[in-house]
A and B are shown apart, each in its own frame.
Chain A
Amino acid sequence: MINFVDSLNKGLELVNQYDANNKEIETVFAELNRQLNKAYDGKLVIELNNYNPPNQFHDECWDIVAKNPISLEYSQETYTLAEWTQSSTGYPCAIFFSGQKCVCEDKESLEQAIAELLSDPVVARDLRTVINQTSTE
């Protein structure tokens, strides 16, 4: 006879694992934005963004976007920097940008992948545009 409670416990363990890993991923973005806030006077925020899938056959869609929250005119406008996917246990997560897909198994590798994203010249050009947005534009 199958032990259904054991099966549910395994599922719940995976849910807990996802919650813990997701919280860790949130701390990476929190630290990223803490540093950006200090360096650019609050003109640049980078975050995960959930958007509507193109059709009913697609899973939930996420990307990494940048915005300038203090620009009154542009605070609702976001620039997409990369696509984002995440497994049901939190890791691996993956960042797609400039023809590259970086699959990250843990916090340290995610930090490194975000660093590579920021140092990509195509991405950096968009970030410069965001930082330079002012309400007089």
Chain B
Amino acid sequence: MKLTLIWWNTSLAPLSDTPASDEQLNIICRVVEGFVNDGQADFIALGEINDCYFDYLEQNTIINGFRWFNLAKKYSRISFDSCVLVREDKLQVLETQDITVSKATSTAKIAQKIIVAVKNYDKPVQFFISHWASRLHTENLDRVHLGIRLRDEVSAILKSDDVAPVILLGDYNDEPFSDSLTTGLEATRDITRARKNTFLLYNPFWRHLGETQHYQRGEDATIKNRCGSYYYKSGSITRWHTFDQMIFSACFVGGGDWHLNEISTGIINTPELFNRVMDNKQKFDHLPIISVLEKEISHD
């Protein structure tokens, strides 16, 4: 059995004064259709969604066999902005929970927890979808704290089952090497360590930090290559960051029945999507990310 997971920050910026155009929304519809038809996606999480955008996407994306869940929610001091689509003959959403952390007058989003039943698998898979605020907007709550509080959620699950299936994904506005994800969340690049110490999480997106192409003498210096998942054209040291990641518990790296297919895990980089991110006239600045999980079907 195979599960294909996709996360994409759609760049719709629901809190912006300028609403997204129908053209932009239609592009997203076509991309999601591609996730399903070409990518065989089973679980798709989209970021920067509000109620209006959710309704439009649900009504205008032509795919079959999927159930849509609007997780966009506005609280007094914070807004969540995701939605999820699941393939109904494989997955069933059992429960969702919005998790925030507050200190003094500051509140930050930690994650949206989604508990999903998987066909022919006896344990529910617990997803944590995060869209952390940018470094400019965390005020009293330092970044490591976000990672620590997300880690608390994971630890509560692993305390009773150290090989429970837990998947974290989203736009962390932090790189894999940031303290929030290493020291705070305890997500490692070291798969041997993660396999031995089942409390550690494995972050395969360390592989996707740098340039996808090697430097070659004589190459046209104006050619742009992908160097992360998020593109900020005004970056002085780097225009690229790997803010979008999927992180896995030990269950998926030898501790359980599921196995992460790292060859099929990474940043989706079709020429069309890449060109849209490079195009200053378009609002897209994130590439989607994908991961594939495989499990042998028991014949007991």
Contact = CB atoms under 8 A, between A and B. Distances in A.
Interface of A: 57, 92, 96, 99-106, 108-109, 112-113, 116
B160 A103 contact: no
A57 B160 CA distance: 8
A112 B102 contact: yes
B88 interface: no
Per CB-CB distance, the 5 closest pairs between chain A and chain B, nearest first, are A109-B102, A105-B103, A103-B101, A101-B99, A100-B98
Given A99-B96, A100-B75, A105 B160 contact: no
Given A103-B102, A105-B141, A109-B102, 11 more contacts: A100-B98, A100-B99, A100-B100, A101-B99, A103-B99, A103-B100, A103-B149, A104-B101, A105-B101, A105-B103, A109-B105
Chain B: interface size category: 10 to 19
A112 B77 CA distance: 10
A135 B79 CA distance: 43
Interface in B101-151: 101-105, 107, 110, 141, 149
A100 B100 CA distance: 8
Nearest to A100: B98
B102 A105 contact: yes
Contacts of B105: 108-109, 112
Contacts of B76: 116
Interface of B: 75-77, 96-105, 107, 110, 141, 149, 152, 160
A99 B71 CA distance: 11
Contacts of A108: 103-105
A102 B100 contact: yes
Contact of A100 (B97, B104, B152): B97
A103 B98 contact: no
B104 A101 contact: no
Nearest to A113: B102
Nearest to A116: B76
B74 to A, nearest CB: 12
Contacts of B77: 112
B7 to A, nearest CB: 21
A104 B106 CA distance: 10
Contacts of A113: 102
Contacts of A105: 101-103, 141
A102 B102 contact: yes
B97 A96 contact: yes
A99 to B, nearest CB: 6
20 contacts: A92-B152, A96-B97, A99-B97, A100-B98, A102-B100, A103-B99, A104-B101, A104-B102, A105-B101, A105-B102, A105-B141, A106-B103, A106-B104, A108-B105, A109-B103, A109-B104, A109-B107, A112-B77, A112-B102, A112-B105
